[in-house]
Structure 1
Amino acid sequence: MADISLIDQTLSFSIPAKHCRGRAVRLGTVLDEILLAHNYPEQIKALLAEAVCLTAMLGSLLKDEGSQLTLQAQTESGVISLLACDYKNGGLRGYVQFDAERLALQPIEPSLMALFGKGYLAITFDQPPPRGRSQGIVALEGASLSEAVQNYFLQSEQLPTIIRVAVNCDGAHSVAGGLLVQYLPEGEDGKERLHVRMDHPEWEHVAVMGGSVTPNELTDPALALEDLLWRLFSESDEVRVLSGKPCVKACRCNEDHIRDVIARFPKEDKEDMIGEDGTISIDCAFCSKKFIISGASLNN
């Protein structure tokens, strides 16, 4: 197996004999850049790191260039009012909005219910025609975001899936690693969905092996992802590494984009946006950049 990458990259692989495909990811520098955009407390940093790692794995499942995956939490009565991450062509971004006072009342490791209340996770796939846009929604239940996403594939897609994510936010740098494995019986990928037995011996074997991965294995930068896959699955099966795609922080905010968004508003709304100093101030939640647009420069 070729040494493709140690960090900041998604890795595609398959286990042909068991009709399984998967993604492995480990993020470091790109994760630091996303987390440092705001002064997040440790609990929120860990949650966002997990969400970004999940977004990278799910986004890398998309085959067409220009496709986008968005992961967004819809919450009610929780500490967090907004969590949003997306992936496009290897570019990642993420943001969490939360109530600091309510978070301070929580234990060091708050539950998913405490963080989100009665929450739901929306997973949106934006792909070129003819696929177009599709969205799945799953309740934010269980021990982690990863468990909720795993339940989405089991419940909404009827696709046997295991997902494991580990995060290490100790010290000056953060690392997140993830493993996703799915069972696709022969002839199913890209074709009409076939009924899948969750207890099929092929899948049971792979699920046990994949589920045995440890948090340290997922986050250890010294352990190449290729070696991890070999360690987990190669004792009884051939593991094929198909491709690796680098991940970067890629907030798509810029002045031209902001001007384009403002231009879509009616003239009266644009005039209401202009402050006393004659400018419109726009803050990007994803990267904390501030853009000052002169009202006089806008086309009415």
Structure 2
Amino acid sequence: MVDVSLTDSIMSFAIPGKHCRGRVVRLGPALDDILASHDYPPLIREILAEAVCLTAMLGALLKDEGSQLTLQAQTEAGVINLLACDYRDGALRGYVDFDRERLLSQPVAPSLMALFGKGYLAITFDQPAPRGRNQGIVPLEGASLAEAVQNYFFQSEQIPTLIRVAIEQSAGGISAGGLLVQHLPEGEQGRERLHVQLDHPEWEHVEIMGGTITPEELTDSALPLEDILWRLFSESDEVRVLSGKPCVKGCRCNEDHIRDVIARFPKEDKEDMVNEDGNIAIDCAFCSKTFTITGTSLNN
């Protein structure tokens, strides 16, 4: 049995009496491993940490093994050129490409607009058939990425949602914690939502209680995740802990995978990829590694 009560874990829960479901996550060493692949300045580390935490909570909404959640910021004239994270079966990865010179000219706490420009957030759910792929795109508006994702559920999915994320950076590393709660009116998980009422009394109560969570509680690695749920909701409601799942750094690139991808290209395209040494060099932005595929593989 994996202990998923403290850090690098996601816990799923339900509040049946209020027709709500949720996820609570805390990340520590796994997040450090993701960020260690690049020499990110503190502000970029914090942005990526928030994005990875959000990706973990969103990915945990997927039920089928092998499903993938991808969160990507599409930017226009911002300091950040690209932000991409994904989740699959507890494995997380993330990457940010940004303009270092423009970042130096920003204030201590730049706005979301300053960092991303006129940006958009694309959230893609890739699931096995018959569900397939579903993508929603919303403007990057609000005070944080968490607020932008919360707006996604209101605008694209019509699901009342509360999201809170906290980041703590220290000499010992970085940690992140997040809470996501959603109202499923007229039924539990698995039943059709007959209507959505943002001011439903059930949801108002849960939203108020969930909003009392503090950043310290979310990032405190000594505080079990179950204790967070009981502090917030159990005084007036039954809270069911449904499952727990560990999180790890999960860059999926390896030599076999890259060979397989290259093999799908036409012979002419593969020849264009070959460098002066007769090999193909592939850089992985997520893990900051270069994979060299030797010429002997190119004729396959």
The TM-score, its normalising length taken from structure 1, stands at 0.97
- Partner deviation per Cα, 1:61-118 (whole Å, 9 max, x = no partner): 0001110000001110001111000000110000000010111111122111011000
2:21 paired residue number: 21
1:270 paired residue number: 270
- The alignment covers a number of residue pairs equal to 298
2:133 paired residue number: 133
* Aligned positions of 1:180-195 closer than 5 A: 180-187=180-187, 189-195=189-195
1:158 paired residue number: 158
Identical columns (%): 77
1:106 paired residue number: 106
2:201 paired residue number: 201
The answer to whether the Cα contact below 8 Å between 2:83 and 2:97 also exists between their aligned partners in 1 is yes
Structure 1 runs of 4+ aligned residues shifted over 6 Å read: none
1:150 maps to a residue whose letter is Q
Structure 1 runs not aligned, ≥5 long: none
2:70 maps to a residue whose letter is T
Structure 2 distance, partners of 1:215, 1:52, is 17
2:276 maps to a residue whose letter is E
Shift of 1:224: 1.0
Shift of 1:252: 0.4
Q: Which moved more, 1:258-267 or 1:128-137?
A: 258-267
- Partner deviation per Cα, 1:235-273 (whole Å, 9 max, x = no partner): 111111111001011100001111111112221221111
1:178 paired residue number: 178
The answer to whether the Cα contact below 8 Å between 1:30 and 1:248 also exists between their aligned partners in 2 is yes
Structure 2 distance, partners of 1:38, 1:291, is 17
Structure 2 distance, partners of 1:283, 1:128, is 29
Structure 2 distance, partners of 1:156, 1:202, is 22
Structure 1 distance, partners of 2:236, 2:194, is 26
Look up the SS of the partner of 2:230 in the other structure.
Answer: helix
Shift of 1:283: 1.1
The answer to whether the Cα contact below 8 Å between 1:278 and 1:296 also exists between their aligned partners in 2 is no
Question: Within the alignment, does 1:228 sit opposite 2:228 as a pair?
Answer: yes
The answer to whether the Cα contact below 8 Å between 1:178 and 1:218 also exists between their aligned partners in 2 is yes
The answer to whether the Cα contact below 8 Å between 2:55 and 2:71 also exists between their aligned partners in 1 is yes
Shift of 1:298: 1.3
For the aligned residue pairs, the C-alpha RMSD in angstroms reads 1.1
Structure 2 distance, partners of 1:218, 1:251, is 25
The answer to whether the Cα contact below 8 Å between 1:176 and 1:219 also exists between their aligned partners in 2 is yes
Structure 2 distance, partners of 1:240, 1:294, is 53
2:187 maps to a residue whose letter is G
Structure 2 distance, partners of 1:23, 1:273, is 43
Structure 1 distance, partners of 2:33, 2:193, is 39
2:80 maps to a residue whose letter is I
Structure 2 distance, partners of 1:81, 1:188, is 40
* Aligned positions of 1:74-153 closer than 5 A: 74-153=74-153
Shift of 1:4: 4.3
Shift of 1:169: 1.8
Look up the SS of the partner of 1:189 in the other structure.
Answer: coil
Shift of 1:280: 1.2
Shift of 1:297: 2.5
Look up the SS of the partner of 2:258 in the other structure.
Answer: helix
2:53 maps to a residue whose letter is C
Structure 2 distance, partners of 1:280, 1:181, is 46
